[in-house]
Amino acid sequence: MVRTLDALPTTTGRVLLRCDYNVPVEDGRITDDYRIKVSLPTIRELQGIGADQIIITAHRGRPDGHDPKLSTDIIADKLGELLGDNVYHADHPIPKPSDLPGPDEHQIILLENIRYVDGETEDSSTVAEQLAKLADVYVNDAFGAAHRCHSSTHAIQRYLPTYKGRQMEAEQSIGSTIRDHDGTAFILGGAKLSTKLDLLDTLHDNAATIHLGGTMFLPFLAAQDKTKGATPVDDEHIDAAKAMLSYHKIHLPQSVRTTDDLDNPSFIETHPSDTIPSDHYVGDVSPDDADGILTAVKQADLIVWNGPLGYYETEAFREATKTVMHGLTRVEAKVVIGGGDTGAIVSQAGLHDEFYHVSSGGGAFLTLLKNGSLPVFAD
């Protein structure tokens, strides 16, 4: 079992810290710095226990080779601003130890985008061994990248004593709480059907209720030979939904808002969800359904929401998601927000502090709920 920072010796030498700084950037400006902010407690704790130097490795995007637009230099500036400290940005993902400034010059160093390195996403031992030469211990606080085994998240553990950062620890604790809790109310939306359909099997027994939005419910319509409109649905998802038709805790929208073009709708109509016209795309659940979801889940003492209820990319289809988001700030229950798109929506609205927990990872959050563990910590 990977230890927490509580077990970290007070004399640690150099620390290699893996963070998830894959943040959105528009016109040279970070539009959501939540993932940077959640790393601050771990960094400050490492400073407090006397780490000689904190060397941070992180990624941005999925670069094909060296892409200057995905450099971590913009992160170094923001991190320094948030810490009130000078953060040195190294222009190489894995510099030679002799090329880095000493601890007396810079205590915090942010390396260039680790995904510039060939082999990083292949969990290369060679890449991990090179990284390990930079430090004495390794701390993983990159929850958002914990569902994939890469060199800087998984293989690195073979070469350095490994600890979990505080964000990683908090996320795993929340995941365990949700899985072990009886009577949780779930709201699941979005468009990534395969992961969440599998998740329904895991959640169903302990759940109080599960409400589906986005395109999550369409396979259930197809499984009942009802029209699902023009939105494509994979046969494997329909087969999975067929096996769950008897799950009485799963609730589908009763009515939906549809259109001819999700990005540029020329019309928007409301239809019962079992009579969607074959040439219409589902854009959102109806306002009545959004209100109905809030009424149903407010009886629970723990609510988990992951995934927008509509096609949030288009302004016209954000209404139900916003209704549910604001409604959840007024319930007495503890509300946990899944990361990914849902976390971004909450962040855009400035409502992080209104919820019990906002996860910093989308895929990692779902993986943790489904499996009860994270691949990066599996041997």
pLDDT tens, residue by residue, 116-168 = 999 999 999 999 999 999 999 999 999 999 999 999 999 999 999 999 999 99
Beta bridge partners of 270: 257
Q: Tokens for 32?
A: 């959501």
Residue listed under structure tokens 């943790």: 368
* Helix, strand, coil percent content, the chain, rounded in steps of 5: 40, 20, 45
- The pLDDT, as a whole number, for residue 26 is 92
Residue 304's closest CA among 192, 205, 183, 201?
183
Q: What percentage of residues in the chain have a pLDDT greater than 70?
A: 99
Asked if the model's pLDDT at residue 316 lies above 70, the reply is yes
pLDDT band at 379 (very low <50, low <70, confident <90, very high): low
**Ranges 193-202, 307-316, 364-373: which has the least confidence:** 193-202
Any idea which fold 174-371 has? Answer: Rossmann fold (3.40.50)
Helix (H, G, I), strand (E, B) or coil at 272: strand
- The pLDDT, as a whole number, for residue 93 is 98
Mean pLDDT of all residues belonging to the chain: 94
Question: What confidence tens digit (pLDDT) does each residue in 341-370 have?
Answer: 899 999 989 999 999 999 999 999 999 999
Residue listed under structure tokens 């805790």: 249
Residue listed under structure tokens 């992180």: 58
Asked if the model's pLDDT at residue 232 lies above 70, the reply is yes
Question: What confidence tens digit (pLDDT) does each residue in 242-262 have?
Answer: 999 889 999 999 999 999 999
Strand residues in the chain grouped as ranges (E): 3-4, 14-18, 25-26, 29-30, 53-57, 87-89, 108-110, 137-140, 162-164, 184-188, 207-212, 250-251, 255-259, 268-272, 281-285, 302-306, 334-337, 357-358
Spell out the SS3 assignment of 127-149. HHHHHHCCCCEEEECCHHHCCCC
- The pLDDT, as a whole number, for residue 332 is 94
Residue 141's closest CA among 31, 52, 34, 56?
56
Burial environment of residue 297 by CB neighbours within 10 A (0 to 12, 13 to 18, 19 or more): buried
- The pLDDT, as a whole number, for residue 80 is 97
Q: Tokens for 213?
A: 């939005």
Asked if the model's pLDDT at residue 188 lies above 70, the reply is yes
CA distances from residue 119 to 18, 147, 163, 188, 196 in whole angstroms, order as listed: 17, 17, 23, 35, 29
Burial environment of residue 45 by CB neighbours within 10 A (0 to 12, 13 to 18, 19 or more): middle
pLDDT band at 227 (very low <50, low <70, confident <90, very high): confident
Beta bridge partners of 140: 18, 164
CA distances from residue 375 to 84, 125, 368 in whole angstroms, order as listed: 34, 16, 9
Listed in order, the ranges of the chain carrying CATH 3.40.50.1260 are 3-166, 174-371
Residue listed under structure tokens 């319509």: 221
The span from the CA of 342 to the CA of 307, in Å, is 5
User: How many Cα atoms sit within 13 Å of 311 on the Cβ side?
Assistant: 17
Q: Tokens for 4?
A: 């927490």
pLDDT band at 199 (very low <50, low <70, confident <90, very high): confident
Question: What confidence tens digit (pLDDT) does each residue in 24-57 have?
Answer: 999 999 999 999 999 999 999 999 999 999 999 9
The answer to whether 97 and 113 are in contact (CB under 8 A) is: no
The answer to whether 233 and 219 are in contact (CB under 8 A) is: yes
Q: Which CATH architecture has domain 3-166?
A: 3-Layer(aba) Sandwich (3.40)
Q: Tokens for 158?
A: 């073979």
Task: Put residue 312 in one of left, alpha, beta given phi > 0 → left and psi -120 to 50 → alpha.
Answer: alpha
- The pLDDT, as a whole number, for residue 91 is 95
pTM for the structure as a whole: 0.93
The span from the CA of 120 to the CA of 155, in Å, is 9
Q: What is the DSSP letter of 108?
A: E
Neighbour count for residue 150 (Cβ, 10 Å): 24
